[in-house]
Structure 1
């Protein structure tokens, strides 16, 4: 009896082990936010100027460099045995927005991912090797920089968002606070959508041990943090999230899905294993909103969204997603709504399809239905007014004629 039980356990273990072995990692996409940086700008009464920052505004700090060096080391550890120990140019493709902080983040990340060894060490006193990072000019960026502002329909959606009850409630609730911020900062305008810049400046200054003005209390920072997070909801969600995604983050999602589908088919000539995308917090939110997995919080520095493609021996493929938003913890799994954690590729494609536009340029045009309705009503009113005016004129003419006849009699 005992031997039979042992045999059963051994058999079950063998089968389970075989099942695990059959699922093999085939391709990985990582999208991350740049590391710690200096503020984007200062507000008028800010005690700190651009000269107070080592490289000026919008630049990656040494802490940001360390964050991405550590993320690169984490990726090296996670994909040991999948990626080659030394850099092979056909295995990895790196794309970045054309900003100093994202380009430098990618480079620091690669320093951790591919420290040179053996023949790749080109000078003994430097444990680093150059690895290409590709980019396009900001005015040509359509994949990694959001929100894109080339879409009239999205502009219309944003105007409609501002008329939602939730937007109105938050605006009313923070009216006095926004006025306080305006007075203290010297800004001409502070509203729900623009006050993030004040939070950003104060947050950066606090991380670099710069003394905050007296008016910046923990309560003030808490309210600014809430409004900062709410601004992300306004841009990518809150109202008609899926349509916003089709015009924004769905562009990136569509590219990722296309690559997943392509890489699912085994091809001996295909050597690419890792797509690395270096971008911004808005990029991470745009993608996560299009996947409907955004947690409502601003992605921290070096936050990393991971998408892994696995192939099965039977020819099928599946997708797993993870989010690393805390360097002290392992990334946690993200579950696509309506699918398993290990989501079959065909289901992943089907579920994400409504967030991906087949013709964004066409969808960006303003909806004619509403325009035609307004036009028809306007034309109808004008015609009615013209008829009314004509009737009044005829009536007056008839009255005048009758009076003239009576006068003649």
Structure 2
């Protein structure tokens, strides 16, 4: 009897210690980045396509109503996870900062996200007017946005490395699918000069299909020589390989995602040393598929798939006992939250360990990115300097010893 009593007493003590250790860990900061929602194509997917810009009420490249719904759903997910538990029920500028690329579809996505997160389409609690909009900030540039639209930037070193080391895939695909390319050259209007990039761009018809725009039957044609796959299925696979090939080595994905990774790593350090103040709890980025792809590759957690609309990469920073801080990375896509474990870490990874593993993939200053890319000096330098100052205003200062060399 005494033995059983002692066993239960020890079990109670152990359970209490375990429960307290769980309770002791507190969420301190969240930084997240998402891809915009469903959008119109940027142009006709192929010359013979009948669905011109008139079929898209907002015009080429613009967010659709479906895309707005997707981002509002993501905002609702953030509301359920954080609002009233970690951040205030109403938006507070001291807690949250939302930054978007200059692209219309990204800024509109951020607005839709904020509607979902703070239920802005509802009346205020005092029964008055509709809730005030949440401010959405932009990077101020589209062609030179190394933070949120890096795949559109000028980086001669990236271009040269890609040409010398990765462009061979384009020719390999053209050889492998020669029969398909010949067929597509005729039915699409591209003609005999059709390229692998042209074929990959044909996948944009899936944007039309999402809006019930009927496609030619040849998209459903099967190809026995290609394992019985359909034309659209093969096109989709070519598009996947071509897109991921842009980030297929450290040298490639660091050029594209290294600055964003450095931004996140440095902010995590700031949270750990308690110097992060503006915003104090959450920094949210609205961007593009290439931005998320380059970040996932730089984090060493890419899954070999393309980025769906409204997908999000989330970093949560927790404080445990004795000023110990841990980082957790999650990837939400298609409504499912998936943990992502950096090689060499557990799901909850101490910040110092996390930083040390990933710093080789990061750039910690825009100047370093420009120098490494060998960006040509021109009259836009003054504009770039102003954009850098705008970004740095919302980025805490760091010790120069932590900068990438």
TM-score by shorter chain over 0.5: yes
- Equivalent of residue 281 in structure 1, options 282, 289, 299: 289
Q: Which residue of 1 aligns with 2:233?
A: 222
Q: 1:318 to 1:101 in 2, by over 3 A?
A: same
What secondary structure, in the 3-state scheme, does the structure 2 residue paired with 1:138 have?
Answer: coil
- Equivalent of residue 113 in structure 1, options 117, 120, 131: 117
Q: 1:142 to 1:267 in 2, by over 3 A?
A: closer
Structure 1: how far apart are the matches of 2:167 and 2:94? 50
- Equivalent of residue 62 in structure 1, options 55, 62, 65: 65
Structure with higher Rg: it is: 1
Q: 1:117 to 1:64 in 2, by over 3 A?
A: closer
Q: Which residue of 2 aligns with 1:361?
A: 370
Q: Which residue of 1 aligns with 2:398?
A: none
- Whether the 8 Å CA contact 2:114–2:120 is kept in 1: the answer is no
Q: Which residue of 2 aligns with 1:15?
A: 17
Q: Which residue of 1 aligns with 2:156?
A: 152
Q: Which residue of 2 aligns with 1:372?
A: none
- Equivalent of residue 172 in structure 1, options 172, 175, 200: 175
Structure 1: how far apart are the matches of 2:156 and 2:121? 52
Q: 1:269 to 1:47 in 2, by over 3 A?
A: closer
- Whether the 8 Å CA contact 1:147–1:235 is kept in 2: the answer is no
Structure 2: how far apart are the matches of 1:225 and 1:100? 26
Structure 1: how far apart are the matches of 2:121 and 2:210? 35
- Whether the 8 Å CA contact 2:317–2:327 is kept in 1: the answer is yes
Tell whether 2:91 aligns with 1:87: yes
Q: Which residue of 1 aligns with 2:36?
A: 34
More displaced, 171-180 or 310-319?
171-180
After superposition, the CA RMSD in angstroms is 2.3
Tell whether 2:306 aligns with 1:304: no
- Whether the 8 Å CA contact 2:329–2:340 is kept in 1: the answer is yes
Could you give the per-residue CA deviations for residues 303-352 of structure 1, whole angstroms, max 9, x where no partner exists?
A: 0111111112211211100011112x3x0100011211111111111111
Shift in Å, 1:272:
1.7
Q: Which residue of 2 aligns with 1:253?
A: 261
What secondary structure, in the 3-state scheme, does the structure 1 residue paired with 2:246 have?
Answer: helix
- Equivalent of residue 333 in structure 2, options 325, 332, 337: 325
Could you give the per-residue CA deviations for residues 17-47 of structure 1, whole angstroms, max 9, x where no partner exists?
A: 1111222111111110111111221121001
Q: 1:122 to 1:55 in 2, by over 3 A?
A: farther
- Equivalent of residue 205 in structure 1, options 184, 203, 208: 208
Could you give the per-residue CA deviations for residues 53-109 of structure 1, whole angstroms, max 9, x where no partner exists?
A: 111211111111111111111101111411111111111110111122111110010
Tell whether 2:154 aligns with 1:137: no
- Whether the 8 Å CA contact 1:245–1:356 is kept in 2: the answer is no
- Equivalent of residue 47 in structure 1, options 47, 50, 70: 50
Q: 1:122 to 1:61 in 2, by over 3 A?
A: farther
Shift in Å, 1:114:
1.3
Structure 2: how far apart are the matches of 1:134 and 1:235? 28
- Whether the 8 Å CA contact 2:254–2:294 is kept in 1: the answer is no
Structure 1: gaps (5+ residues): 367-409
Shift in Å, 1:271:
5.3
What secondary structure, in the 3-state scheme, does the structure 1 residue paired with 2:316 have?
Answer: strand
Structure 1: how far apart are the matches of 2:304 and 2:287? 18
TM-score, structure 1 as length reference: 0.82
